[in-house]
Amino acid sequence: MTLHLHDTATRTTAPFTPVREGAVSLYVCGPTTQGAPHLGHLRTFLAFDVLVRWLERSGYAVTHIRNVTDIDDKILVKSAEADADWWEWSLRFEREFQDVLDRIGNRRPSYEPRATGHVPEMIELMELLIERGHAYADGNGSVYFDVASHPTYGSLTRQSLEDMQDAGEEMEPGKRDRRDFALWKAAKPTEPETASWATPFGRGRPGWHLECSAMSRKYLGETFDIHAGGLDLRFPHHENEQAQSHAAGFGFARSWMHSGMVTVDGLKMGKSLDNFVTAEQAMSEHPEPAVRLALVGGHYRATVEYNARAMREAETVWERFSATAHRAAELLGDHPLTAADADLAPLALQEEFTAAMDDDLAVPEALAVIHREQAALNTALAARPATDVQIAEIAEALGRLRAMLDVLGLDPLGVQWGGRTGADGAEHAALDALIVAQLEARAAARAEKDWARADALRDALTAAGIRIEDGQDGARWTLETRD
């Protein structure tokens, strides 16, 4: 089976054929840096992180663009309320987004352009749209897109212009039709002068929709493979992006992918409902890999439910994956497949796993394959392997398990989640010697039925962030995944 992806525009799932053989051009709508990242942001960016990982695992060279909207109405309002420069406010949260995404294992995009760095490209696009009769300047610094001028406006979300008419909405001065949208917003006397740029139409700043069309064209060309983002962006943002790009004569995105929403305790997340969860809050209350698992474990187009039960389940599953991988690694010692930086790309994946991922990234079915592989590896480890053949089979099974989990960004032995490279192997060996000595002392205390001393030794290790698991072959230890 070849890779099949669902196109939101056509509402069909079809074989993926890139514009350029062997390469994929992907544009993902990035953050508007008005405030701290929340679960909805993580849901979107992790969904398409898995897409990038699978495309690369399938042999494609991926150019991944994720923009930063570093100026808009809300940024100006919130920075003013905080008595901060708008650019300082924006940079603060841009860095917070990057820190959070790094911590949860989200790969950085190929390029991450800011809106404020692409004003010349936006001016060029506006001039082209005006020349083609699809946009107009109001004479006061603003430029609007004329939606009635483009016959396919509304095609992405399957709406007609009549459906979009809202007679109760007051029309902005300078607009010819209340449905027209701003490409460029005139500078306001109440806003900082640094928040505006000179253009042939007057001083002002970018409209939200214009920036993505300008930047996707610059970095990916006039026609590219996939435009992705959260489901809430379909209208008006993505509809407007597509309209202005097509009106300019660009092919724009050949297909659209949208990730589902996040609900908290069954309700749409929102500050007014007192169920708003920031990324920092989620990752301080739960192990980061468990948060990642909870958000990528469902199908990317489905709604993800975040609650205490879901997180307990995610933590349990992650602990099982981690425990199995570490048990196998301890048995194999310095085997190449136990290294954090092991090359997993050449390893063959289970056919059922590949089929699931090729079916529009069916992660739930892919996870079922991973669970079966983990169970089989546990069985092999419990059999106390002794022969070279048995050890080799366990190494192969560990490689398969790691390779599949790596596609989801959840390799327990990888660098992201505390695996060891050759550089820190000596440190681990020293730590292992100290802990094993404590475990041997604990085993001796238990043999003598000195339960108080045994418990004290275990408690001391737990307090130091070391998890102890007792098994048939004695106790084993792992580092806690929490910070």
Q: Are residues 167 and 51 in the same domain?
A: yes
Boundary-marking domain end, from 420, 447, 466: 420
In a domain, 106, yes or no: yes
Q: Are residues 378 and 249 in the same domain?
A: no
Q: Which residues contact 184 (CB under 8 A, 6 or more apart)?
A: 122, 126, 141, 142, 143, 199, 201, 204, 205, 206, 207, 210
Statement: residue 428 has pLDDT above 60: no
Range of the domain at 65: 16-273
Q: Are residues 413 and 446 in the same domain?
A: no
Single-letter residue type at 462 = T
Q: Are residues 416 and 430 in the same domain?
A: no
How confident is the prediction for the chain on average, in pLDDT?
92
Q: What's the confidence (pLDDT) of residue 482?
A: 44
Q: Which residues contact 449 (CB under 8 A, 6 or more apart)?
A: none
Number of domains in the chain: 3
Q: How far apart are the first and last CA of the chain?
A: 41
Burial class (CB in 10 A: 0-12, 13-18, 19+), 385: middle
Q: Are residues 222 and 327 in the same domain?
A: no
Q: Are residues 416 and 434 in the same domain?
A: no
In a domain, 6, yes or no: no
Q: Are residues 394 and 455 in the same domain?
A: no
Mean pLDDT in residue range 180-206: 96
Q: What is the torsional sign of CA 392, 397, 398, 403? A: positive
Boundary-marking domain end, from 273, 294, 322: 273
Q: Are residues 391 and 444 in the same domain?
A: no
What is the distance between the alpha carbons of residues 175 and 146, in angstroms, rounded to a whole number?
Answer: 9
pLDDT in tens, 338-361: 999 999 999 999 999 999 999 999
Q: Are residues 405 and 434 in the same domain?
A: no
Statement: residue 477 has pLDDT above 80: no
CATH number, domain with residue 246: 3.40.50.620
Query: For the residues of 346-372, what is the DSSP string, one character each?
Result: TSPPPHHHHHHHHBT--HHHHHHHHHH
In a domain, 7, yes or no: no
What is the distance between the alpha carbons of residues 358 and 22, in angstroms, rounded to a whole number?
Answer: 16
pLDDT in tens, 250-301: 999 999 999 999 999 899 887 766 788 999 999 999 999 999 999 999 999 9
Of residues 6, 8, 4, 3, the one with CA closest to residue 242 = 8
Q: Are residues 82 and 130 in the same domain?
A: yes
In a domain, 33, yes or no: yes
Helix (H) or strand (E) holding 469: strand 466-471
What is the distance between the alpha carbons of residues 238 and 106, in angstroms, rounded to a whole number?
Answer: 23
Query: Maximum distance among all alpha carbons in the chain?
Result: 90
For 290, the token pair is 């468990």
Q: How many CB atoms lie within 10 A of CB 437?
A: 10
Global confidence as pTM: 0.87
Of residues 84, 56, 87, the one with CA closest to residue 70 = 87
Statement: residue 424 has pLDDT above 60: no
What is the distance between the alpha carbons of residues 290 and 288, in angstroms, rounded to a whole number?
Answer: 5
Of residues 391, 369, 366, 371, the one with CA closest to residue 381 = 391
Burial class (CB in 10 A: 0-12, 13-18, 19+), 112: middle
Statement: residue 423 has pLDDT above 50: no
In a domain, 294, yes or no: no
Q: Are residues 365 and 451 in the same domain?
A: no
For 344, the token pair is 């997993």
Q: Are residues 28 and 149 in the same domain?
A: yes
